[in-house]
Amino acid sequence: MNGSKTASGTVAPVILSGGAGTRLWPLSRRLRPKQFLTLNGDSSMFAQTLDRVAGTAFAAPVVVCNDEHRFLVAEELRQCGVTGADIVLEPLARNTAPAIAAAAYRFAETDPDAVMLVLPSDHVIGNGPAFLDAVAVAAGLARDGRLVTFGVPPSRAETGYGYIRKGTAIGGNAFEVDAFVEKPDTSRAQAYLEDGGYLWNAGMFAFTARAFIEELVRHEPAVAANAKAAVAEGAADLDFFRLDAAAFGGAPSVSIDYAVMEKTEHAAVVPLDAGWSDVGSWTSLCELGEADENGNVSAGPAMMLDTDDTYVRSEHPLVTTLGVSGLVVVATDDTVLILPKERAQDVKDVVAALAAEGFEETESHRRVYRPWGHYQNLEGGNGFLVKRIVVKPGAKLSLQYHHKRAEHWVVVSGRARVTNGDEITDLGPNQSTYIPVGAPHRLENPGSEPLHLIEVQSGDYIGEDDIVRLEDTYGRQ
């Protein structure tokens, strides 16, 4: 691991960042899912999660993420000033039990008695002190050999969450787990709410690496064996640790609840009354907003006339509504989604249908993030594409060439260092260059400010797959 043995008494956050967030499409997309978006507050939910576990009580985090998101994770860590993190790359999605097992075996190499605090990267916690109090209780139980989950006192008859039935109190604010309960229908959810002995399953956990591995070996040995092999046969790649693809892919795809928590005799639950939300749908995001006198919530340019109980979010165009009720309206620069609030959980079906038809809008936004910065497609047509490119200070793109397109670059602001064939030239604002078809080229920002540039591509074929990389700082092929 990047870090050494955890200091006595500290808690090691394990942040799971493998979700796709399809219920928050069109903002959340496969290449930039909801945890990396600024949906609630001034920073991404990933950054909020990092901030939640900052300070001397916590060790540097372990982040388990999709390989395609590795540079997004690295950038979030950099912006939050987090050093010493261990970024573990999943070669494919295998659910939460294999992901957590991989992190546990990473700890087993250096500190098997480390208390792992497992957190999704895309949840909201409104009350930080209450969260820390619950973590302190859970950490104490974990050091005594308990496998702890966190349960949220229900505020409504929610059918979208699983539930935990509290058992015998075990001192302080903690209970044995009497049972895990699947998502209920409406009448049963109402009964759980009135009973008072049920909590929402928040999908957060605390246990030592040793205790978790022991229970995983006992109850789901195939997951344990494959996760252990994936770590043992994995390898470092720049600032990341790549799990072995064959071993990890051989692990059964199973949740931690089903693999361990529902079967262990050592489960405990700590109530978490801290303004928690999993932001699992547009209606849950609406609940986090401030409603007007008609029950409407908006974010971005919007005007709602003769409208009630409606959520509008716009990333660019002005959205207006008239004479409607109970809707969700979400507009980006390339997509509009409109649905009744009661169908908010079904957005994933829209994404599946679009993906089956090959719509690129399920994959990425017009603004596409790269380890060196980002680009945004502005206009395209037969044989041409116009892009806006932003390169971070000190960053550079790969040395590459194209078989089928030429490129014109115009610097808008900042300084550009351009490799064009055998020549290297520095360009300033309003200066430009032409990259012929087949010419090796590279764009670099040698300055201390972001480089803004307009690129015009022209040729027989305009596609991101027409790139032959000769050299790349980030290890991409």
Per-residue pLDDT tens over the stretch 423-474? 999 999 999 999 999 999 999 999 999 999 999 999 999 888 899 999 988 8
Stretch 218-237: mean pLDDT, rounded? 96
pLDDT of amino acid 1: 65
Query: Which amino acid makes up residue 368?
Result: V
CB 418 within 8 A of CB 433: yes
Residue 399 has pLDDT above 70, yes or no: yes
Q: What is the pTM of this model?
A: 0.89
Strand duo 175-181 + 240-242: pairing: unpaired
pLDDT of amino acid 4: 52
Strand duo 267-271 + 240-242: pairing: unpaired
| DSSP state letters, 31-92 | TB-GGGS--SSSS-HHHHHHHHT-STTBPPPEEEEEGGGHHHHHHHHHHTT--S-EEEEESS
- Of 3.30.450.20, 3.90.550.10, 3.30.70.1450, 3.50.50.60, the CATH number of 11-277 is 3.90.550.10
CATH architecture of 367-471: Sandwich (2.60)
User: Domain segments of the chain: what residues?
Assistant: 11-277, 290-356, 367-471
Interval 158-200: pLDDT, tens: 888 999 999 999 977 899 999 999 999 999 999 999 999 999 9
Tell how far CA 389 is from the center of its chain: 24
Query: Which amino acid makes up residue 93?
Result: A
